[in-house]
Amino acid sequence: MPTVLLIGASRGIGFELARQYIEEGWRVIATARSDDGIALLKTLGAETLRLDAANPASNSGLAWQLDGEKLDLAVYVAGVGDRDTAVSPPTREKFDLLMHTNAMGPMMVLPQVAPMLAQSSGTFAVISSHFGSLTLTESSMAVLYRMSKAALNMYIRCAQHDFPEIVCLALHPGWVQTDMGGPQAPVKVQDSAASLRQTLETVRTERDPKHRGAFLNHDGQALPW
């Protein structure tokens, strides 16, 4: 039975990934920061860990909580958004929240789980966004969110060089009907999760060098940096 670790899985895409992976017979270890999130994940049959992705002290204890585990896949799903343009200077609190959650969080997690993934030549994937693409930038809407995802993409690109025994991957889930995406988004959360799982399974089974340090759409198509 393969094992997947989902970081930030108490709602939205993370929760749906947990549900679908369990339905497919995977062992799921899922993190949440609240009692309600932990309880909700347990109703699915997931094994749970308490983790606040935006808190470095909380993140630093992940390896201890996972001591002795062997992972096939780890997906960093946790993320926060913002819609302000470049006209509005961010507060320090908002800057820290987005950068800590969206960029620093994965930087804390990957070094801890890489040895566990290396045992199976596994995959470390992060839920990024096409908003992190410099090439695809057509407005300044959500500038701070864009910056945090661009930083995340760069980290994945760099980290692949330091962790050659695993695949490091950035994924765009689409514009999804979640709390962040809103009800007007064209992609249902179930469809996004299913497409992401298919792409991750392709990466896991094909072991194609082109996927190493790649930036992919949820359907597996390469995205420009």
| pLDDT 10s digits, 126-146 | 999 999 999 999 999 999 999
Task: Please give the pLDDT value at position 209.
Answer: 95
Closest to 109 measured CA to CA, from 198, 175, 29: 29
The rounded percent of the chain whose pLDDT value lies above 90 is: 88
| pTM recorded for the entire structure | 0.96
Average pLDDT over residues 42-55: 94
User: For 5, which DSSP code?
Assistant: E
Q: Which CATH class is domain 3-217?
A: alpha beta
Take residue 63 and report the two structure tokens written for it: 């390896």
Q: What is the largest CA-CA distance in the chain?
A: 50
The average confidence (pLDDT) of the chain is 95
Is the CB of residue 3 less than 8 Å from the CB of residue 70? yes
Give residue-wise pLDDT tens across range 74-126: 999 999 999 999 998 999 999 999 999 999 999 999 999 999 999 999 999 99
Give the residue extent of every domain in the chain: 3-217
